Chains A and B, each alone.
Chain A
Amino acid sequence: MFTSLNLRALLLSFVILTLVLGAWELATPAVKAAGELTEYEKLIGAADQEARVPPPSAVLVRAWEELSDPFYDNGPNDKGIGIQIGYSIFRVLTGYLMAALLAIPVGFLIGMSPLAYKAFDPFIQVLRPISPLAWMPLALFIIKDSQASAIFVIFICSIWPMLINTAFGVAGVRKDWVNVARTHELGSLRTALIVILPAAAPTILTGMRISIGIAWLVIVAAEMLVGGTGVGYYVWNEWNNLDLTSVIFSILVIGVVGMLLDAVFAFAQRSIQYQE
């Protein structure tokens, strides 16, 4: 029964989780329940002499509360976690799809033409290392809309890995396969679609997977800046409310959503992967 590696790994994961959560729980002294305090103690804030990181049990209780009603909407500063995540995913996907629509065709062009490769390379090298948030002021000024600016920031940060990987994948397609297309008299468009695209697809998808990861990292920061809605704004808002339990809960949610987004791309990657 303990021979399966997966099973043993799963058990070990549980042990680690239990140890970490247990240590965390024990390191957080129990706060006296409100009922035990006198009116005076409450007034001077004696219940919390200093703010403490909440214990995991409190986070679990908060998670249960939030997840059992994820879509409530009590005005601008009190929306369910489901709504906030929905906003974030919407922004990420919009910016990301726009980036894909631009980066993949341009990457194709750059990959197929050595001239274009050399001509575009200096621009890519300069623009790529720029932190996406550095674009924010310029985006806010030009676009004049904070929501669209957040989407633009996602767009600009998603573009580079997809562009570079597409160009790299297309340029690296084996000459033999291109020759097969040539000897079968395929035109350039059909060669691109039925030979080069499937041949470069694993590399392109790797770029898309890196991009979606970066986009999810950046959206949190961007939403902290632009505010209003989204999971990044939610984290910042709970910090302003001094509700650390919700902050920890939302951090976990960000992690889980990021993992799910990555899993979708990992699945897509597996389905188009081929073995030479």
Chain B
Amino acid sequence: MTNIPFLEVDLLTKRYPSPDGGDPLTVFENINFDIYKGEFVCIIGHSGCGKSTIMNVLAGLDTPTSGGVTMDGKELSGPSLDRGVVFQNYSLLPWLSALKNVIFGVKARHPDWSKEKVREHSYHYLELVGLVNGAENRKPSQLSGGMRQRVSIARAFAIQPKLLLLDEPFGALDALTRGTIQDELIRIWSGSDQTVFMITHDVDEAILLADRVLLMTNGPYATVAESVAIDIPRPRSRADIIHHDGYYKIRNHLVEFLAKRSKDLAGISKISGGQNDDPQQPKIVRPALDGVSSSEIDSATSPNLLKVKG
């Protein structure tokens, strides 16, 4: 992890004009956060706080009212193959087989590749999500929800984007399937240096997957209030992390935020001055390390340190 952020979100604000000509509706205001290369960052917040809008802005499908996003030192404008998106509703093309859906993405990414190479590459990624031996030739309508989302994940990973955006990818799945695919996602991600930004509603999912969790206050005038570091060493597994000392500290912190503080802090960006043009980063919190601020630890993710503390 270098010290230069890979992705910088600066003073991002989205307002919708009011239909009756009154004050515009401000969904979120002055959102600032950074993502570093190779990081897995989750964002949690209640419905209506604009998570999906932030995701769409990052994907280039929506434009903010003000503020901007820089990735790799370049201002984002419009959609790009550098940012792969996995949508909640899978967004597979129903007239193409699973393999052809992945090929669709790979072809767009590498128009110069030969047919065999595109096919091989696509097949490899379907193999990673365990969708071969006949399943690759099935149409999305012949696959279960979990299998469809696997195809969607394979398509996104196969184009090897610089930033992978996951918009509540497991929201529509049952708990058991969700667990399996979370494990698969973490396995594929561990084998890559993929930077991931993911929306979720699920606190346990965020702790399992993320390096950091961004907490959003309720809308309107939502903002990112805290950046919670998940100081649990990797590799993590669903069965083991619950025994880690920090797990419940983190979990309680997140649940408490969602249940109480997200409401109390709602509109804080408005109170602290909407005109604030200093891109202040959200406060970093480390519940697993008893809330010590980041300056006191040099390498927070060092397993040794955690062992001592634990």
Contacts and interface: CB of A to CB of B under 8 A. Distances in A.
B85 interface: yes
Contact of A274 (B83, B87, B141): B141
A274 B139 contact: yes
Contacts of B85: 179, 183
Contact of A184 (B87, B94, B95, B104): B104
A198 B93 CA distance: 9
Contact of A179 (B61, B84, B141): B61
Interface string B180-204: 0000000000000000000000000
Nearest to A186: B108
Q: Which of B59, B79, B83 lies at the interface centre, i.e. has the most chain A CB atoms within 10 A of its CB?
A: B79
Q: Which of A179, A184, A186, A194 lies at the interface centre, i.e. has the most chain B CB atoms within 10 A of its CB?
A: A184
A179 B91 contact: yes
B105 interface: yes
Chain B interface: which size bin?
20 to 34
B141 A276 contact: yes
A185 B81 contact: yes
Interface string B69-84: 0000000000111011
Chain A interface: which size bin?
10 to 19
Interface string A256-276: 000000000000000010111
B110 to A, nearest CB: 12
Given A274-B139, A275-B141, A183 B93 contact: no
A214 interface: no
Interface string B93-123: 1110000000011001100000000000000
Interface of A: 176-177, 179-180, 182-186, 194-195, 198-199, 201, 272, 274-276
A199 B95 CA distance: 8
Contacts of A276: 94, 141
Contacts of B159: 184
A185 B80 contact: yes
Contacts of A272: 95
A201 B60 CA distance: 28
A276 to B, nearest CB: 5
B160 interface: no
Nearest to A176: B91
Contacts of A176: 87, 89, 91
A183 B89 contact: no
